[in-house]
């Protein structure tokens, strides 16, 4: 009898230990807080793609992921300070200025960072795409400008003079304009650059486009991409084509050859998941974005342009019947 009682006591003790070991209080899901900084209102689809990807991937892992966001250019530094004070697990930045500031502010604490920007090497963010080193990796957006110009000349082969409104508010603006200028010069295309500093200056510039301009090109500039719809409207009024190397065909630009913004966000989100699962950013190669040709058929109709079947079969997506 004593042996039976001892066995029962042992079983009870094991059951009690199991209850405390596997009780809900000690089996809570992993919780992560991620900072998201994107001061470019024209690329909000990037952070939305990033957030949506992580929400879905987090649910599949049984994780709880929350986000602290900043979208104002004049609040980037205090927002990053607040994120670091709250000990976020990872920071995602869009644009060169935001990423450069994030790199500077995480140099000592090594909080992991994921970026989406034009050219991380030329911007001084990393030294090597294959092995980024330090605490940062991400997605490089640059690479589509030369082919975008080719598509413009395919759509409008008579083009000899391209108008380029720009604000140099990010490294991408300098870098992309340099590439466009070099590529255009090689094929004998004249580029007229109109530097603007505000939405009001942009509107005034668009009201005074030189009469011999054949097309307008939308550059990688925060101000310009934010107001791509204004550029589209001005070009439609003049019946001239518009092109972009950053996806703006959904805002009335005739065509874009560029990454799709939502896809950039999802691509960055996948890299962020690797970091949250324990991989060091330094061991994750920086990836290049994929490029897609999109044509706005509404805009083509408004400017009286017929798109050839040869071009249509090479197009990745078409935009029809946008709300007016």
Three-state helix/strand/coil letters over the chain: CHHHHHHHHHHHHHHHHHHHHCCHHHCCCCEEEEEEECCCHHHHHHHHHHHHHHHHHHHHHCCEEEEEEECCHHHHHHHHHHHHHCCCCEEEEECHHHHHHHHHHCCCCCCCEEEEECCCCCCCCCCCCCCCCCCEEEEECCCCHHHHHHHHHHHCCCCCEEEEEECCCCHHHHHHHHHHHHHHHHCCCEEEEEECCCHHHHHHHHCCCCCCCCEEEECCCHHHHHCHHHHHHHHHHHCCCEEECCCCHHHCCCEEEECCHHHHHHHHHHHHHHHHCCCCHHHCCCEECCCEEEEEHHHHHHCCCCCCHHHHCCCCEEECCCCC
| Claim to verify: residue 42 and residue 85 sit in the same structural domain | yes
- pLDDT score of 272: 98
Taking the C-alpha atoms of residue 36 and residue 34, their distance in angstroms, rounded to an integer, is: 6
pTM equals 0.83
| Claim to verify: residue 216 and residue 301 sit in the same structural domain | yes
Looking up residue 109, the CATH number of its domain turns out to be 3.40.50.2300
In a domain, 72, yes or no: yes
| Claim to verify: residue 240 and residue 268 sit in the same structural domain | no
| Claim to verify: residue 200 and residue 307 sit in the same structural domain | yes
| Claim to verify: residue 182 and residue 273 sit in the same structural domain | no
Taking the C-alpha atoms of residue 201 and residue 160, their distance in angstroms, rounded to an integer, is: 25
In a domain, 3, yes or no: no
- pLDDT score of 133: 80
| Claim to verify: residue 150 and residue 124 sit in the same structural domain | no
Looking at the DSSP assignment, which residues form a beta bridge with residue 257? 293
In a domain, 24, yes or no: no
In a domain, 1, yes or no: no
CA distances from 238 to 235, 252, 257 (A): 5, 14, 22
In a domain, 195, yes or no: yes
Domain count, the chain: 2
| Claim to verify: residue 196 and residue 107 sit in the same structural domain | no
- pLDDT score of 322: 59
Displacement of CA 94 from its chain's centroid (Å):
6
- pLDDT score of 283: 95
- pLDDT score of 87: 96
| Claim to verify: residue 203 and residue 55 sit in the same structural domain | no
Q: pLDDT tens per residue, the chain (324 residues)?
A: 444 444 444 444 444 444 444 444 446 889 999 999 999 888 899 999 999 999 999 999 999 999 999 999 899 999 999 999 999 999 999 999 999 999 999 999 999 999 999 999 999 999 999 999 889 999 999 999 999 999 999 999 999 999 999 999 988 999 999 999 999 999 999 999 999 999 999 999 999 999 999 999 999 999 999 999 999 999 999 999 999 998 888 899 999 999 999 999 999 999 999 999 999 999 999 999 999 999 999 999 999 999 999 999 999 999 987 544
CA distances from 75 to 38, 70, 79 (A): 10, 7, 6
In terms of C-beta distances under 8 Å and separation of at least 24 residues, what long-range contacts does 108-114 make, across chains too?
109/84, 110/134, 110/135, 111/84, 111/135, 112/136, 112/275, 112/280, 112/281, 113/137, 113/138, 113/281, 114/90, 114/138, 114/268, 114/271, 114/272, 114/275, 114/281
In a domain, 21, yes or no: no
Tokens representing residue 237 in the block: 């009024």
In a domain, 15, yes or no: no
| Claim to verify: residue 181 and residue 314 sit in the same structural domain | yes
Taking the C-alpha atoms of residue 216 and residue 254, their distance in angstroms, rounded to an integer, is: 10
| Claim to verify: residue 49 and residue 35 sit in the same structural domain | yes
| Claim to verify: residue 113 and residue 228 sit in the same structural domain | no
In a domain, 205, yes or no: yes
**Which domain, by its residues, includes 133?**
31-141+260-288
| Claim to verify: residue 236 and residue 310 sit in the same structural domain | yes
């Amino acid at each position: 009898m004593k042996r039976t009682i001892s066995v029962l006591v042992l079983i009870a003790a094991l059951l009690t230990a199991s209850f405390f070991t596997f009780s809900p209080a000690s089996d809570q899901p992993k919780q992560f807080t991620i900072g998201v900084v994107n001061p470019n209102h024209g690329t909000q689809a990037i952070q939305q793609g990033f957030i949506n990807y992580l929400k879905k991937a987090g649910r599949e892992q049984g994780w709880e992921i929350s986000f602290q966001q900043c979208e104002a250019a004049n609040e980037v530094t205090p927002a990053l300070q607040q994120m670091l004070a709250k000990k976020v697990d990872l920071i995602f930045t869009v644009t060169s200025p935001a990423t450069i500031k994030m790199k500077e502010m995480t140099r000592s604490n090594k909080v992991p960072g994921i970026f989406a920007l034009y050219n991380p090497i030329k911007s001084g963010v990393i030294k090597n795409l294959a092995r980024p080193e330090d605490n940062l990796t991400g997605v490089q957006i640059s690479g589509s400008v030369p082919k975008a110009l080719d598509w413009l000349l395919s759509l409008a082969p008579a083009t000899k003079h391209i108008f380029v409104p720009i604000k140099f508010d990010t490294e991408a603006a300098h870098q992309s304009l340099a590439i466009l200028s070099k590529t255009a010069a090689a094929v004998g295309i004249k580029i007229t650059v109109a530097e603007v500093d505000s939405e009001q200056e942009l509107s005034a510039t668009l009201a005074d486009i030189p009469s011999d301009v054949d097309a307008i090109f939308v550059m990688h500039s925060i101000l310009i991409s934010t107001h791509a719809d204004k550029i589209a409207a001005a070009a439609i009024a003049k019946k001239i084509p518009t092109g972009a190397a950053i996806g703006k065909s959904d805002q009335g630009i005739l065509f874009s050859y560029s990454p799709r913004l939502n896809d950039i966000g999802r691509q960055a989100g996948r890299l962020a998941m690797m970091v949250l699962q324990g991989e060091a950013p330094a061991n994750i190669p920086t990836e290049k974005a994929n490029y897609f040709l999109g044509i706005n058929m509404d805009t083509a109709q408004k400017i009286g342009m017929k798109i050839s079947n040869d071009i249509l079969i090479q197009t990745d997506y078409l935009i029809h019947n946008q709300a007016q």
